[in-house]
Structures are given as C-alpha cells and as structure tokens.
Amino acid sequence: MLTQLCIQNFTVIAELELEFKSKMTVLTGETGAGKSILIDALLLTLGGRADSTVIQTGKDRCTISANFDIAKLPAAQQWLAEHELAHDDECILRRVITADGRSRGYINEQAVSIQALREIGNLLISIHGQHEHQTLLKAEKQRLLLDLYAGHSALVKKVQETYTTWKKTQAEFDALKIQTEQRSARQELLAYQVQELDALALQENELNELDRDQRQLASAGNTLENCQNTLALLEETEDANILQLLNNAQQLLKPLKNRDTKLDNVLNLLDNAEIQLQEASSELRNYLDHIELNPERLQFVEQRLSAIHEMARKHHTTPDKLLELQQHLHNELALLENSDSQLKKLAQEINELAQAYQQAATELSQSRLKVAEKLAPQIEKSMRELGMPGGKFLVQFEPLAEPTATGLERIEFNVSTNPGQPLQALSKVVSGGELSRISLAIHVLTAKNDHKPTLIFDEVDVGIGGGTAEIVGRLLRTLSNSAQILCVTHLPQVAALSHQHFQVNKSIVKNKVLVAARELDKTAKIKEIARMLGGIKVTEQTLAHAQEMIETA
C-alpha cells in the first residue's frame, strides 16, 4: 500500500508531505483547488510522461517520491529481487525532473529507467480517472475489464503467445512455399553458380598470397638489373669501383700517418668503410644467387588473379567476399533441395500450434461466458442501487470470422437503463450520468480482482448525487476491505464514509498560487463535510447533518 507521498516544486505545490493509512482515504476541496494535481504527481513516480513545464516557476527542478509497504505483495517483491533493487518490505519510487527537460527515476535510491518505474508501478497501483468512463464505450476496454474481473491474465497471455507463434510459423511456411514454387529456375541458376565457384576453388588467404607473388615476380627483372649494377659499382668495374677508389684513398693517407696522428681517426673510418662495403658486396652477391626470374609462374599468377576478379565482377561483389558468397549459395541451394521436408515440418508445427491455440482460446471463451453470467446480475444489482431500478446488463459475445490474438469472439456490453427498453450496445443507450454510474459499478466490481494493493478513483463519481452518492461511497468503503482506496471526490456522502480525510486548499502567497493539503481530525472533517453540503454559508443545522453522516458511516 501507499504509505507516503512527498512533493517538491511541482506546478503549484511548493512542498507537501502526506502520510496515508490503509482502508479508504478521500481528498476533498473547492473546485479547482488542485486535488487531482496530487494524483498527477503520483503518476510521475509511476513512470508518467513529464517535461520541464511541471516545475514550479522560478525553480530549477521538481522531486516527487512515493513510499510503498510491499510486505503483502509477493509480485512486487519478486520483481525488485529479480532487478536487484530489493530493500526489506519497502519500495520507494522517486522521480526528478530538471529545468533542461531531463528526467531521472530511482527505485530504493538506485537509478533506473522510466520503463522500470512503469513496470513496478503497474504492480502497485491501479488508477481510475474521471474520464475513464468514456473509454468504457470501446469494445476492447470492455473485453479487458471482463478478463480482469475473471482473473484471466495467464490464460490471455497463453492465447496471445500461441497465436503469435502460430502466425509467425505460418508466415515462414508461406514464404518457403513461394520460394519452393519458384525453385526450379532458381535451383538451376544456383547449381550453375555453385559449380562455377567450386571450379574456381578459391582457398583461404589465396588472394593475399597471389597479390604478394605477383608484386615480387613482376619486379624481379628490374630488381636483378639494379642489384647487378650496384655490385659492379662496388667492386667489379675495372677502371674505378668503389672499393678500388677507397683503397686508393687509404694508400694516399697511410704515408702521412707517422707525420700527424690526427689522421689516425680518418684512416680508421676508411678501414671500417672498407669492411662494411665488402660485407654489403657479399650480401648482394648472395641475394643475386637466389633471385628468381620465373615468367611462367608470373603468367600463372596473373591469369589466376584475373579469373578471381572476373568471377567477383560477375557476381557483383569484391574478390575478398567470394568465399562468403560461395558458402551462402551452397546454403541456399541446400535449403531448396531440402524444402519439401522443411515444408512438411513447418506444416506439422502449424497444425500443432493451431490446435494449441484453439484449445486455449476455447478455454478462454468458455471461461468468459461463465464469468459473464456471474458478472451480469452483480452489475444489474449495482445499477439498481445507483438509481436505475429497471437496469439490465448483458455481455454480448459475437464470434469472429478469423481467430485473433485476443480470442475467438468480440465482446460488447449491452444495457437497458429503463423498464421495457431493449438491451442495446452501451455506446447507443446511456446518457452521460448513466454512463458514469455504470462505469463506476463495473470498475468497483472488477477492481476486486485487480490484485493491486492501492486503487485510486479520481472523481469517478462526477454526475452523481443524492442517495446514489451514498451508495457510491458504500461501494468504495466495502472495496477498502480488500484494498487501499484513494478517492478524489466532491460528494459529501462519499467523503463522510472515509477512514482518512485530506482537505486540499489553494492560496495566493506573494502573487503566487500555491496548493497545500492537510489531514483532518474529526472536528475539521465535520466542518469540511458541512462545507460540501451547505456551500458558502455553513449553519449549525448543516454541521449537525455532517456530524450525523459521519457517525452513521
């Protein structure tokens, strides 16, 4: 259950902290006082959409946190444990929105995604808004409410998942069948292409090796000539090779050695140069002994490279992708050759999935029919209590021409609000006031099986008054025996039946509109109920009436 809501700098709320109790809590106040703003703030902690416009004017951020006691909520405990967010029996949701439009979410003070807030929030709270009765006119909403009342979540999920797998497998079968029907020409082309590539017999890393060999072989002649000319310059030219010239230089300087020791270093350098030149000549001669002139090999390499590049152009790819293409074509050819057996396998799967779907969908349909028979008299009873004495209610089932992910039938609520009036679709019969009362009756009944610890009703009693309003209050109070109820209301009959009462007020401070809320004690509650009963002037008689209403509750 929700135990605390803390709000800072949210729209017209500067700072507010509310402590909630179990059972039934109401929020009241003048029209426009900001009662629903509290619900809007709570929605943000549950992952609702937000931008910087929700920040109070002049502030750089707003922060909202909601504390929940989840001691009796194993589903929430399991979710938190799976996401490594567990913290005893407490769950704290926090949302921070900054002036630059950024939003951050936290669960038990650990940063999480907004989607995570939505997921855990869906396990904690169910909100019924003041305009929700309009969505009740849609057949899809009616089906969802029936399934909620019946507790069909597991069965509905099974039907949806089986249907999705069935249709996916059917699509695979259809695609393969079309491919198979066209396979004759395709198979012939693939066989020819595979044969070509197999004949080419391209090996792993062969392309790199061929490129390297081609570069070496193509430049071998030029390399040989340059090396021979270099060797001639070093030692083979008769008139003046480098070694001979170096020797001449040494002979010219040696006689001077004894005259000036400063020339010793020069002679040493010339001696070292002679040794290095002789080593260079030896290395070069050894290289020339092993250099290969192989025009036949060069021709083979160039022809091989040409064949590889030509094959790549033919298949609109690059040479380095040919091996990958070859494997892909082999796989496709094998698939076509085995398509008959694959089609047979898929057909069997489709048949099994169709049977599984039919079984699950039939089970769902039968359960829906059974539950609808149970739900109808309960709603009729609530309709009579809510001022429609001749009210009739029926869940209409219309078989669909094709199976769907939601079952085999279209579900529509039919009603009659007056004696002698035939049952018709909800959207064609009721007035606005009648619709809100029927919507309330349905939501109260289905909420009993919602399995969420906190249910919020935000002005769902709009358009209701008099004795009917008291019935609404008693419905909500009864519901609070199985769930925490938070109700935003303008009806004194509903507020008088609450276990906890907050009054929301709007004031102007330094030209700023601010909203605040306070929990009422018994005396203050009597005054608030009297205000709701009597309007501007509250009399002793009105106060007495208010006290009587509370004591009767």
In this predicted model, what pLDDT tens digit does every residue of 484-511 receive, in sequence order?
999 988 889 999 999 999 999 888 777 7
The residue among 220, 272, 274, 214 whose CA lies nearest residue 248 is 274
Mean pLDDT of the chain: 85
Is the alpha carbon torsion for 10, 13, 19, 25 positive or negative?
negative
- Give me the pLDDT at residue 371, please: 94
Half-sphere exposure of 215 (CA within 13 A, CB side): 5
399 has pLDDT over 90: yes
Pick from 214-228, 250-264, 392-406 the range whose average pLDDT is largest. Answer: 392-406
- Indicate the burial class of 370 (C-beta count within 10 angstroms; 0-12, 13-18, 19 or more): exposed
In this structure, what are the phi and psi dihedrals at residue 23, rounded to the nearest 5 degrees? 65, -135
**Per-residue model confidence as pLDDT tens digits over 99-123:** 888 899 999 999 999 999 999 998 8
250 has pLDDT over 60: yes
Cross-strand bridge partners of residue 409: 399
Question: What six digits make up the tokens of 453?
Answer: 């610890």
Q: Which residue has the higher pLDDT, 147 or 534?
A: 147
- Give me the pLDDT at residue 130, please: 56
Indicate the fold that domain 1-130+459-519 takes in CATH. Answer: Rossmann fold (3.40.50)
Q: Which residue has the higher pLDDT, 219 or 253?
A: 253
- Give me the pLDDT at residue 104, please: 93
**Per-residue model confidence as pLDDT tens digits over 65-97:** 999 999 988 889 999 999 999 888 899 999 999
CATH 3.40.50.300 residue window(s) in the chain: 1-130+459-519
- Give me the pLDDT at residue 333, please: 79
- How much of the chain exceeds pLDDT 70, in percent? 90
